[in-house]
Structure 1
Amino acid sequence: MLRQNFLNRIPKFAQQLGFQKFSFSSSGFLLSGHNKWSKIKHKKAENDRSKSLRIGKLSQAIALAVRENGPNPCNNVRLAAYLEEAKKFSLTKAVIENAIKKGSGIGNKDAQTLNEVIYESMHPSGVGIIVETITDNRSRTAAFVKNVLRKHNASLSDVQYLFDKKGKLELNAPKEYTEDVFDKVVEDAIEAGADDIYEQKFESEDEKTEDEGDFVALTKTNNLSKATEYFRKKGYHITDASISYVPQPGNAVEPSEDHNEELQDLIEKLCDLDDVVDVYTNIKQRYMD
C-alpha cells in the first residue's frame, strides 16, 4: 500500500516541479530573479568565520538531546541527527563523548539547566521565521533574539502553521546510477520510507553549497535514522540530514527584492547569537519550483 500511495503521488508533485514522471526535464529553481534567495532558506547557524561556534552549539544540542531522550541514537532521532551533523564538522570522539556524558548527568549537572526554546516571528515581507535556541538562561536569550528581530522590523507571531516538521535528507545518487537515475532514486526512497522525493537542479556546481544534494528526501521525523542508514548502505552521499521545519508548498513565499538585504542580514544576525542553533524560513526553496 505504501508503494502504491507513493507512486500515485509522483505525477502530482512531478507536475508541480515541472518535469514529466521520472524524467530530467525539470527547470531549476535558479531562474532569473530567484538566485538571490539561494542562500536564504533554512540556514544553519554557521558560516566560514564561525565553525568553532557551531561546534560549541552542537555540543550543547547533543547534551540536551541525550538529557531528554537518552544516549542511544537508535531510539533518539534528534541525537542521531546531531551526531550526523557532528561528522560533517569533524567533532572529535572526545568532544562527542563529553557532550553525551554531560547530557547523561555523568560528572556534570550543567545539562539540567539547558532548555530548548523556539521563537516564531513574521517579517513585513510575509516571511515566517522559526528560531531554535538552546539556552541556560531564557531571559537572556529572549532579550537577544527580540532585539535582533526588532532591529529588522520583524515581530513575534505564530508561524508554525506555515511549516511541517520533517526529517530532511539532501542526497547525491550512487555513482553507478548512470541511466534512469530519478527512477532508481524514487524506488530507493520508497524502500527507505520517505514521504516525498524531489530533484534539485543546479545550473553549475558552483551554485551548490556543501549541504545541498541533487535530491531532497522528506520523511517522518521518527523515520529519519532508518532512512539515513538505508540511503547510506545503498551508496548515496548524504550531504545533510536533519529534523527541519519545512515550508508547506502552499505557504512558501518569494519576497520582493526590496526585502532581500534586510532578510539576509536578519538571518545572519540571528545565526550569530550564541544560543541560536537553527533558523528556518518559509521562503520558497529550490526543490519546490
Structure 2
Amino acid sequence: KLPIIPGNCWIRKGSSSSSSSSLWAAQIPTFDRCWYSSRNDVRKIWTFTPIWMGRRSNKIATRKGAQDLKKGKLYAKIGKEVVSAVRKGGPNPISNPALATILEKAKELDVPKDIVERNMKKASEKGQEDYIEKFYEVYGYGGVGFVVEVLTDKLNRAVAAVRSAVKDCGGKMATAGSVMFRFRRARTLSVKVSDANKDQLLELALDAGAEDVIEPSDEEGNSEEYHSERYYKLVSPPENYSAILSKPRDEGISFELDSGFELIPNNRVEVDDEAMELNKELMSRLLELDDVDAVYTDQKRSLALNR
C-alpha cells in the first residue's frame, strides 16, 4: 500500500524489494522473544522474522522518499516564486516587497541558499518566461475530487502533462468550479504527534482562533516509527495565522510552517480500498510532474472498512 504523507503530499511506491529475497526470508523460522541479562541491567530484546523486518524497512524507506519528495516540491515552488518576483519587480528586495516576502519565507522554511541564488539568476536569463498559476480539477474514483495546483512557465506543456496523467490513471478532467467548491483556502501549521497531544492542540487552537485540528490517518500502522512521523494539522483562516503561530511558540511546541495557502476539503468522500489505491496512484502520477506543486483531495477510507 502507498502511505499517506503529512501536509496533503503523496508518492508512488518503489520496487526496491525483490521477490527472491522475500522467498528466501519465507524459509526462515520466526524467532521468539528472548531476554538478555547483564551484570548491570536486564533488557528485553525482541526479534522478528526477516520478512517482517523487510516490510518495516520498506515502509520507513518509502516514507523517507515521500518526505524528500515533499521537500523537493517545496524548494521548487519557492524557486518559481523567486523567479516570478524578480521578473516583476527586480532583484533588489529593498525596492521589491514581493521578493523580500518570498526571501523571508524561504529563510523560515530552511530553503537552501543556493536554490534561492540559482533562481535569482534564472529570472534574468534570456527566454525565461513568467510563471503562471493554474488550478485543474479532476474526478477520481468513487466520487472523489482532486484539485491540481500548477505553477508553470509553459502552460501548454503543463496542461498536456496533467491531462495525460489523469487519462492514464483512469481519472477525468472536470470543468472549472465543479470540484473546487468542495474546498476552502486556509493556512496551516503542522505539529508532530510525538510533540503534542490532541487535547492540548484543541485547547490551543480554540484560544488562538483556529478553525480545526486535523488528525493524522491511522491507515498505515501504529509502529513507533510511523507514529513519530505523523502530524496534526492546525487549520487557520488567513487573518488569524499570526496568532496561531504565536501560541505553539509560547507553549514550546515545535511545528512546521506551510508554504502558503492550502486547500482544505469541507467534507470527506468515503471510498473502499480499491478506489483509494487507484486514487493514490493518480495522485502519485500527478506529483511526479515538475509543473505540479500540490495535489489536494477529499477522499477518506470508508469507516465500514475499519470495523
Classify the TM-score, shorter chain. Answer: 0.5 to 0.7
Secondary structure at the aligned position of 1:47 is classed as: helix
Deviation for aligned residue 1:117: 1.2
2:295 to 276, 279, 283: 279
- Structure 1: 5+ residue stretches without partners: 1-34
In the alignment, residue 264 of structure 1 is paired with which amino acid? K
Is 1:247 aligned with 2:265?
A: yes
- Structure 2: 5+ residue stretches without partners: 12-64, 90-96
2:66 to 25, 47, 53: 47
Aligned residue pairs, count: 234
TM-score by length of 1: 0.65
Q: Which residue of 1 aligns with 2:22?
A: none
Is 1:168 aligned with 2:188?
A: yes
Q: Which residue of 2 aligns with 1:4?
A: none
CA–CA separation in structure 2 for the residues paired with 1:232 and 1:96: 27
Which range is displaced more, 218-227 or 252-261? 218-227
Q: Which residue of 1 aligns with 2:281?
A: 265
CA–CA separation in structure 1 for the residues paired with 2:154 and 2:248: 39
Deviation for aligned residue 1:123: 1.5
In the alignment, residue 236 of structure 2 is paired with which amino acid? T
Deviation for aligned residue 1:183: 5.1
Q: Which residue of 2 aligns with 1:11?
A: none
Q: Which residue of 2 aligns with 1:205?
A: 224
In the alignment, residue 213 of structure 2 is paired with which amino acid? I
Is 1:148 aligned with 2:114?
A: no
CA–CA separation in structure 1 for the residues paired with 2:66 and 2:193: 26
- Cα 1:36/1:134, change in 2 over 3 Å: closer
Q: Which residue of 2 aligns with 1:217?
A: 234
Deviation for aligned residue 1:216: 2.4
Deviation for aligned residue 1:232: 2.9
CA–CA separation in structure 1 for the residues paired with 2:301 and 2:106: 23
CA–CA separation in structure 2 for the residues paired with 1:115 and 1:93: 24
Is 1:60 aligned with 2:88?
A: no
Q: Percent identity?
A: 24
Contact 1:192–1:226 under 8 Å retained in 2: yes
Contact 1:173–1:235 under 8 Å retained in 2: no
Deviation for aligned residue 1:53: 4.8
- Which structure: larger Rg? 2
Q: How does 1:50-129 map to 2 (within 5 A)?
A: 50=69, 53-54=72-73, 55-64=75-84, 70-73=98-101, 84=108, 86-87=109-110, 91-99=111-119, 101=120, 107=124, 113-129=130-146
CA–CA separation in structure 2 for the residues paired with 1:135 and 1:153: 24
- C-alpha root-mean-square deviation of aligned residues, in Å? 3.9
Q: Which residue of 1 aligns with 2:211?
A: 195
In the alignment, residue 206 of structure 1 is paired with which amino acid? E
- Cα 1:65/1:156, change in 2 over 3 Å: farther
Contact 2:276–2:301 under 8 Å retained in 1: no
Q: Which residue of 1 aligns with 2:19?
A: none
CA–CA separation in structure 2 for the residues paired with 1:267 and 1:198: 20
- Cα 1:193/1:41, change in 2 over 3 Å: closer
Contact 2:185–2:262 under 8 Å retained in 1: yes
CA–CA separation in structure 2 for the residues paired with 1:185 and 1:126: 32
TM-score by length of 2: 0.61
- Cα 1:110/1:240, change in 2 over 3 Å: farther
CA–CA separation in structure 1 for the residues paired with 2:85 and 2:247: 23
Residues 209-262 of structure 1: CA deviation (Å, up to 9, x unaligned): 74x32x32110134335523442343111145242111113xx11222222332
CA–CA separation in structure 1 for the residues paired with 2:301 and 2:8: 9
Residues 79-126 of structure 1: CA deviation (Å, up to 9, x unaligned): 776654x42xxx322423554x469x6x55877511111111112421
- Cα 1:36/1:143, change in 2 over 3 Å: closer
